[in-house]
Amino acid sequence: MTSVLDLAPVVPVVVIDDAADAVSLARALVAGGLPAIEVTLRTPGALDAIRAIADEVPDAVIGAGTVISPRGVADAVAAGARFLVSPGWTDALLDAMASSGVPFLPGVSTTSEVVALLERGVGEMKFFPAEAAGGTPYLKSLAGPLPQARFCPTGGISLQTAPSYLALPNVGCVGGTWMLPPDALAARDWARVESLAREAAALN
């Protein structure tokens, strides 16, 4: 894999409370056309979920999100994560991600952070929290002076607003949760998740 940004137009951002649901959820997303799946390290079962998906859903490109420490990097990669996503970055975290052997998207929300990453040789980033940090107007304004930076905006994006992000030249994909409605997850309605994933995968 050369770039997380080119796998699909949408990366589902998944918070898994019960690792037992991970495989079925991942299979539904992959069947719907969304192979890149970001499991956030926000719950006790997150690493078990990543491990289960890595072992049992070969067509999924499983990643770890909310990676905020070098230890988190090591644990995620050991569990089978094939890419890493952070909401922000520090020098220590960036060094750990760069040494991990897998692609990574450090989080940014300001121009100075983008310039600092470019200075470090990192050209692909997560823009977070996208809507709160300025949305499409902000990203559009960055494309002129910093065309070498590419983004995966995440945070507050919906099926309705995703196309306006994807139309920008510096956006490769978006992250979102709208294909994972809480009531569908609670009911284990994987058919609905697959249908919503297919709708998201058709965006361009």
For residues 44 and 64, give the distance between their C-alpha atoms in angstroms, rounded to a whole number: 13
Q: What is the token pair recorded at 69?
A: 């420490």
Give the residue from 90, 52, 50, 94 showing the smallest Cα distance to 73. 94
Residues 6 or more apart whose CB falls under 8 angstroms from that of 58 comprise none
Is 131 a catalytic site residue? no
Q: What is the DSSP letter of 62?
A: E
Element at 36 (helix H, strand E): strand 36-40
Catalytic residue among 113, 119, 126, 194: 126
**Number of CB atoms found within 10 A of residue 96's CB:** 22
* DSSP helix/strand/coil, 110: coil
Best CA proximity match to 167, nearest among 136, 142, 128: 136
Q: Is 38 a catalytic residue?
A: yes
Rounded CA gap, 201 and 203, in Å? 5
Q: Which residues are catalytic?
A: 38, 126
